[in-house]
Chain A
């Protein structure tokens, strides 16, 4: 990583010729940092020096951090990925139980608690535009995660495996090289399942990493592979701790540079530190709710839907949190973990018991410290205010039960091509 002072000086030298209106260079920079990425891309055309500045990865970085810390508080952006029940839509001829993946970018506008009469969340929803990703069949990507404006998309089937990093704001995408562990070579040792993945930012190395946890079934071996953007390559990592199986495949939760995935048998959480490459087994809090009743059947549209008491990993107020739904009382226990530094036994605090509700809700994520997004039994999504205990609807329907994954989203200039 470059010395910060050098970087600053660098930037200043470049800024020197930027301003012809005798506005001090620092001020021009301050103005540009406050502009949305779309405007900045357009303003590359103003002159050579603006072009060079705006195209510089270190400016993209500065812009990202400025917006993280001073973000316009009037809106919050989310990325939701969920399965849409096709037979839910009127007039469609699809088979019952057929679903397709929907990825939505949601902007929630200034949320003022005074507007008490509104039972809808003021927001704009747009589908993530994948049409620019050349050669990718629509809807093939199975999972996704988000970090600093970049969305990872994984197409995973027997015939095709492809991982794409995509920044929709600057319309830039990159197909990752083949993983270091070739599928065919692996097949010798039995089928390999991908059981956890995620895209994260390693602040110490100033690098983006895509991590996936793999399981070689026949030999019951666990290992991981990590892609780093700066080197544009994969490498394998040994996982030394004992894992039996994952509770849910796919997305983990990233909090302060550490990824977490849920484990089952024995119950626990697998953590991975993006900077140190260390894995740990994090014990769950001692809750009375754990595994008492874990299934709940709900009759809907002529068939019975099975709801699981899925524990949900979350980030709340910048802290790692765990939500444990109870299928009997329709409550959700909310646990918060103190800062976890690998190896040290973490301590959990039961922060709140959310509910009881009259029906079952499946938690998705906190989009601020007092608003929790949850799936409803009839395929909708609500936001529940922990303080006022008020429900408000999101204009989303036909969500296949417990299929929704949510994360924050941010518009950034961060390039997926690496080169920090």
Chain B
């Protein structure tokens, strides 16, 4: 199917389909904030439905919400808008729970939303900064693989960091 050439290219719409079948209609300028979608559009054009089998509707929706805000505010880039974006980003990540944060981060990474990945990793870092080793293992589902005595030795050597 080939669409007739349009005179207005600024508000071209893209159709995105999430893993659970939920579809989103978004402006091209918004969706191409995501590196992965930008590549698909450049390689295959924007006429067809873009299927994203690794992201479900809930998180794709959130990612697109972020893109929309940043695409809009980027059109006139002065310092004031920068501040607005920062403030908006802060609100965006403020109340994310660990599970949502994890899936959102996976979605942003899959879609190559570099700036959003930066924002979310910063959020994760701020959450785990003050945590204990045991809490980190739990958060990242890591099992200690030290030999007996090894961990104690590292702890002893850096005891001040555990105070």
Contact = CB atoms under 8 A, between A and B. Distances in A.
Interface of A: 19-21, 23-24, 26-28, 30-32, 34-36, 38-39, 41-48, 50-51, 171
B133 interface: yes
Contact of A45 (B105, B109, B151, B160): B151
Interface stretch (B9-17, B69-77, B89-97, B135-143): B135-143
Contacts of A19: 140, 142
A152 B107 CA distance: 46
30 contacts: A20-B140, A20-B141, A20-B143, A21-B102, A21-B141, A23-B105, A23-B140, A26-B109, A27-B105, A27-B109, A27-B117, A30-B118, A31-B121, A31-B125, A32-B125, A34-B122, A34-B125, A35-B125, A39-B128, A42-B132, A42-B158, A43-B133, A44-B158, A45-B133, A46-B133, A46-B137, A46-B142, A47-B142, A47-B143, A48-B146
A20 B160 contact: no
B130 interface: yes
Given A42-B132, A45-B146, A47-B146, 4 more contacts: A21-B140, A31-B125, A42-B133, A47-B137
Nearest to A39: B129
Most chain B CB atoms below 10 A, which of A35, A39, A46, A51: A46
Contacts of A34: 121-122, 125-126
Nearest to A37: B161
Interface of B: 102, 105-106, 109, 117-118, 121-122, 124-126, 128-133, 136-137, 139-146, 151, 154-155, 158, 160-162
* Majority secondary structure of chain A interface residues (helix, strand, loop or mixed): helix
Given A19-B140, A31-B128, A46-B133, A41 B105 contact: no
B109 A24 contact: yes
A44 B154 contact: yes
Contact of B162 (A30, A42, A47, A51): A42
A171 B159 CA distance: 11
A47 B147 CA distance: 10
A53 B135 CA distance: 19
A50 B137 CA distance: 11
User: What 4 A-B pairs come out closest when comparing CB atoms?
Assistant: A34-B125, A41-B161, A30-B121, A42-B161
A47 B117 contact: no
Contacts of B129: 35-36, 39
A54 to B, nearest CB: 10
Nearest to B131: A39
Contacts of A44: 154, 158
A118 B109 CA distance: 43
Contacts of A43: 133, 136
